[in-house]
Chain A
Amino acid sequence: MLNRQRKLTKIALLLLALTPLALMIDAAIGQALGPDPAEALADQTGEWALRLLCACLAITPLRILTGKVEWLRYRRMLGLLAFFYACLHLGVYWVFILRLQWADFFYEFAQRPYIAAGMVALLLLVPLAITSTKKWQKKLGRQWPKLHRLVYLAAALALTHVWWQTRGDYTEALIYTLILLALGMIRYRRKSWFK
């Protein structure tokens, strides 16, 4: 019974996390993305990647604060969803904005550091996505948590990606930064309590 409930929760969470994508596809088909649809899609996929990364990183703090291990069951899915949206984000940029032009891609990568920061963040998530399965977890043993600490670096780079291209107003960048800092602090304080 409990198992069934967990499964349903997971499915509900998955559907919820895929809703933004469904809305984007619907808007794209209905030509409701505005006069610059590629830009709109790139923005939205990027934002959801970052939001889901925050959600994934909130799991451990939630476990600490509530004392319930239950939360951990949703961590892998949230991480993979963040990775999925990050891939969509790059895909939209690569297909609809750069139009598959390698020359443009290298130029942008070299000229615009925020693009390099975002790319490296995504690359760091690749090994984490691959080794996210139970099988890999067992295989890597004590190395697994160490490897998966790369997610903090990826998050920091994702924030850099956001800050670097912000102009005009920093409110949004600041909100994401404060959320991630708060989540980091909860973990850190927990560690020092144990010392």
Chain B
Amino acid sequence: MLIKRPSDIRSSEITSESHYLSRRKFMQAFAGAAAVAAGGSVLSSCADAQSPPLPRQAAALPGRSLDFVAAQPASSDNGFSTSEKLTPYEAVTSHNNFYEFGTDKRDPKRYAGELQTDPWSVAIEGEADNTGTFFLEDLLKNQPLEERIYRLRCVEAWSMVIPWVGFSLSSLIKRAQPNSSARYVVFETLYRPEQMRGQRSRFNTLDWPYVEGLTMAEAMHPLTMIATGLYGKSLPVQNGAPLRLVVPWKYGFKSIKSIVKIKFVKSRPSTSWNVSAPREYGFFANVNPTVDHPRWSQASERRLPTSLFDSKRIATLPFNGYAEQVANLYTGMDLKRYF
């Protein structure tokens, strides 16, 4: 279904998180009831939940409306959802680390408008059978989208809870058909200094383009996600439009934004922050409260938004609370050494 954006949006029409949440709860209940009525399986209930009738107000959030399967209640242990309070849309889209636009948290939103994200294509390269450069539309064609509510833990000791929309990276990898030599996946962000002012700075410690990487096992894990939206809408540029990685058990800098290249390689890639300051940023960068960063203690985090009188400090959990799902990826590994 297609929801047209009203030409004039009053701020009162913009969806609040509570509205969004209650709407989602309603949709889930509706999907469940439909499934029962039809005597159908879980699968059919998912199908019923597709094309959710987003309220008119949700259409007022910036961006294109997406069709997706709403997140299920956080009852299952797959980690795809959480009952924690969502970080408001405004905070999610105005407090960003995206150094391509500047180092201030407000810079990405401020300068996002300078970047043209349409048309967009992604190069798939390396040790795979189905390589080539693909238009974003072709890449996303027939790719069902689903909502996942993940915690996002920044290495700077703050965190958010974000309703992403996207799909498991594994489904894209399967289509690329990597061969047996592929042991790591490397991702690259767009390099376009004329539209990304942070890339024009002469005194940057990061080499552009920004590069991140995962082991094949990490990339194939069902929690590892390619997001194309949040809060039911297409991604704002400051959050990594049009497509980004989300790896919820790792520090945020691993979740690379505005991806233009995905490459399958044999050996461990050099990744941007790791190259810039290897003592501070490891390749794995799994959230770990027992390994302090030289600049920030990682034992606790501040759940945004904070206020002056409540710093919302909470304990940081190993693997950002996803240990049950991902700890087995690292069995036998010294996590203090391979931080």
Contact = CB atoms under 8 A, between A and B. Distances in A.
Interface residues of B, number: 35
Interface in B97-124: 99, 102-103, 105-106
A188 interface: no
A83 B99 CA distance: 32
Interface in B78-108: 87-88, 90-91, 94-95, 99, 102-103, 105-106
B204 A36 contact: no
B158 interface: yes
Given A34-B106, A36-B95, A97-B311, A167 B277 contact: yes
Interface string B178-206: 00000000000000000000100111111
A37 interface: yes
A169 B95 contact: no
A136 interface: no
B22 interface: no
Contacts of B295: 112, 114, 165, 167
Main secondary structure of the interface of B (DSSP, over half): loop
Interface in B171-229: 198, 201-206
A41 B309 CA distance: 13
Interface of B: 87-88, 90-91, 94-95, 99, 102-103, 105-106, 158, 198, 201-206, 276-277, 280, 292, 294-295, 297, 302, 304-309, 311, 313
24 contacts: A34-B305, A35-B87, A35-B90, A35-B94, A35-B95, A35-B304, A35-B305, A36-B95, A36-B105, A36-B302, A36-B305, A37-B306, A37-B307, A37-B308, A38-B306, A38-B311, A96-B308, A97-B311, A112-B294, A165-B295, A167-B277, A167-B295, A168-B204, A170-B203
